[in-house]
Structure 1
Amino acid sequence: MFKTKSVNYKECKSVSDNGEYPELALKAALDPVTFSVFRRHHNYTRILEHVSRKEGEQYLNIIRREYKMKDDEIFQILKPLMKVGNPKLLRLKGLSNKISTTGLRYLKIALDIKKITGRNIGNVVEIGCGYGGQAIILDQLIKIESYTFYDLWQVNLLIKRFIEDSNFSTTYTISTIKEDSFKCRNSWDFCISNYAFSELPKAIQEIYINKILNKTKKGFMLMNSGVSGKFGKIKNHSQKELLNILRNASIYNEIPLTHINNYLLTWGGDN
């Protein structure tokens, strides 16, 4: 068992736990006016909703070329993410209408996951969930038994509001890592994290490893902490350490590469 040390949560915070982002998420969850525009607010776009036009076109090309998805189908799947919160929509080459580039990222990731898991993914846990966009897209493509969201408590309220506003059909649980939520479920089939796990301090990563990663059959995490394990001033687990900790772990290139030294970490199964 990978042992954890006693953690002072006040001293160990992720990049998103900066005061401004969680408070905006809380305000958006409670205030209809803020909720209607939160995806344009600068305190939100520093953390999410900043996929560039170039990256959006790269995701779109992969979705079309590798996954043979037609434009009408793309727009239909992304429909739940195209209006709520007033996201910035961009006009990309070859598309007749503007589109959410963040939605295209979620769709590309969902298609990658479907390629790995097939049509039935089982019980899913996600670490660092934004407003639940990845889950909403996955829900349309794959059969999910249950979905567990882990994020900051303020963000969790926004997730609940957003997915209740969508046609999310899966049974779900929303929690923080400090809550005693593991009585309901303490193992999963698939773990997802889009850059969030790699922005956590090492001590908090160890808690997630013990409570979630080591109790999940397979995992798919996009990492932006590089080979050495560092995001900005936050030191965390290196590639080598994660490969030693996680069962049948592998490192792959992030495709498309959105920042130097980003990578995909998978574990479990035949990966």
Structure 2
Amino acid sequence: MQTIVCMKWGTRYGADYVNRLWSMIRRNTRNPTRLLCYTDDARGVDPGVTCLPALEIELPEHLRWLPWRKIALWRPELPGLAPGEPALFVDLDIVITGGLDDFFTFEPDAPFCVIRNWTQVEKNIGNTTCFRFKVGAAPKIFTDMEADPVCIWQRYRNEQRYISGEIEIPMTFWPEPWCVSFKHGLMPRWPLNFLLVPRLPPDARLVAFTGKPDPDEARDGRWPAPWYKKTYKHVRRTPWIAEHWQ
């Protein structure tokens, strides 16, 4: 059984994001696969998804609802998973466009596989939109964060830089074509973004939507931004998102 994990907290992403994710997983896996969702609100989530209470982590209020919560995945133990069990974590704001089974068989002995961050390639930083980990493999990431969250936040500013800088197990990067960034890899450069539709590479399996636009906004050709940024923040309506994100 392959296990995919997601987290849903707060109000930015509703149950529909979890349900779309589950639908995309079912279409893009051949092996038996389950989805665990750690959430503070399971209302409206497809009954095929296993919902468990949100993972506890002690954080100051200004970090409590930010991606720093993902550090809770490095707890020594996780509900619904056995110690040492591999799991694939994915963010909710992704579009799956290809097979996921290879994410479980790639470098099978590696304790931590992650995307090489698109904007900091030379700095050996992982992007935690999609990563495979083994439960309990690096608990110090979690315990150190709880012990001194403000100091760690001030030093690293975001959780993926913290993980990349402090993790004590080997970090392996996914094959580059598998995971692409919509904003940093697929969007045509200005001013061509006003004329051309972002193209989906044939080998891409997962498209990440970091920041804005979200998948529905890019699908519909909307990029929410202040008026003074509209001169360059623009995306054409992107039909292939509707094809895959359902």
TMscore range, shorter length = 0.3 to 0.5
Larger relative contact order (Cα-Cα within 8 Å, sequence gap ≥ 6): 2
State the TM-score, normalized to the length of structure 1.
0.34
State the TM-score, normalized to the length of structure 2.
0.36
Higher helix share: 1
